[in-house]
Amino acid sequence: MKIMCALLAGMLLVASAVGSPIILNEYNAVDATKWLDKDPQSASDKSDTFFGRVVGNGGDWCEFAVVGDGSAMSTVDMRGWKIQIQDNWTSGAFTPSKTLVLSSDSYWSNVRAGTILTFSEDNLANNGADTGINRVNSFDTLGYAWTNIWLGDTTYMASGSPAKVDISNNNTLFCVVDAGNNVVFGPAGESISCTGIDSHSVLKLQADPTAAITPTGPGYAGGASSSFGAPNVWTVSGNSVAQSFTAFVPEPASLCLLALGGLGLIRRR
């Protein structure tokens, strides 16, 4: 059964509340035939921090930030969760056309807060961006790690989950629901979270990721600073700003416990 997040009296009833353990962080709205910021390639120096300056800016991809309960070392059980996507939303009910379903793989049982979680339609092996769990791991120093999931990966995506999605600048919306079909975050995206996304831009959260982020709260914006699999970047008064994940850096005592546990030195007494 599809989850319907309806509008009442023209106002979206946002189902997610303060304390959402996962938030939409960024998605690519650049058209497959266009370039980030401006056409042609030589018209701008804007590029994605991972892909560089390429036509289509890496294809259809979306990115979420796992924030858990807002504290370092907290984890989220995402087994069986769904990411519902609707492109070309105009008004009325949110009616997803594609629903990504996470598998029951053990990785999803305890996804750590601070994880930047990307989903890519293209198998980007030529760019080194096919499925990779914690392919970048800076938890202990910067508070984040990056996991990318290729949508065609049958280990991390459930059987029947679509390998193709439609993500564009035409009012793409996302809604995350848990295994019990309870809305966790969303709908979020263009016209709900912000406006003015064009075919040369990305939608991104221009704020530090926290459990207090809501789909309709301040922070979401469009822009030509793209950062697939890394903290978002943007410009304020001519100065470059980047997301901080330092809230998820574990305390030294937690690191010691992890090390001891890994060495098998913690024994029940």
Please give, one letter per residue, the 3-state secondary structure of the chain: CCCCECEECCEECCCCCCCCCEEEEEEECCCCCCCCCCCCHHHCCCCECCCECCHHHHCCEEEEEECCCCCCCCEECCCCCEEEEECCCCCCCECCCEEEEECCCHHHHHEECCEEEEEECCCCHHHCCCCEEEEEEEHHHHCEEEEEEECCCCCCECCCCCCCCCCCCCCCEEEEECCCCCEEEEEEEECCCECCCCCCCEEEECCCCCCCCCCCCCCEEEECCECCCCCCEEEECCEEEECCCHHHCCCHHHHHHHHHHHCCCCCCC
β-sheet bridge partners, residue 177 = 82, 183
Tokens of 6: 């309806």
pLDDT at residue 222, rounded to an integer: 96
Q: Does residue 40 have a cis peptide bond before it, meaning omega lies within 30 degrees of 0?
A: yes
Distance CA 35, CA 44 (A): 9
Distance CA 164, CA 121 (A): 6
Beta strand 111-112 with 173-177 is: unpaired
Listed in sequence order, the residues at least 6 apart from 15 whose beta carbon sits closer than 8 Å to its beta carbon are 5, 175, 183, 186
pLDDT at residue 259, rounded to an integer: 53
CA 110 to chain centre: 17
pLDDT at residue 265, rounded to an integer: 44
Tokens of 125: 């092996």
For the chain, the residue count is 269
Residues lower than pLDDT 70 in the chain:
1-18, 125-129, 253-269
β-sheet bridge partners, residue 175 = 84
Tokens of 261: 């546990």
pLDDT at residue 11, rounded to an integer: 33
CB 105 within 8 A of CB 161: no
Distance CA 49, CA 142 (A): 17
CB 12 within 8 A of CB 5: yes
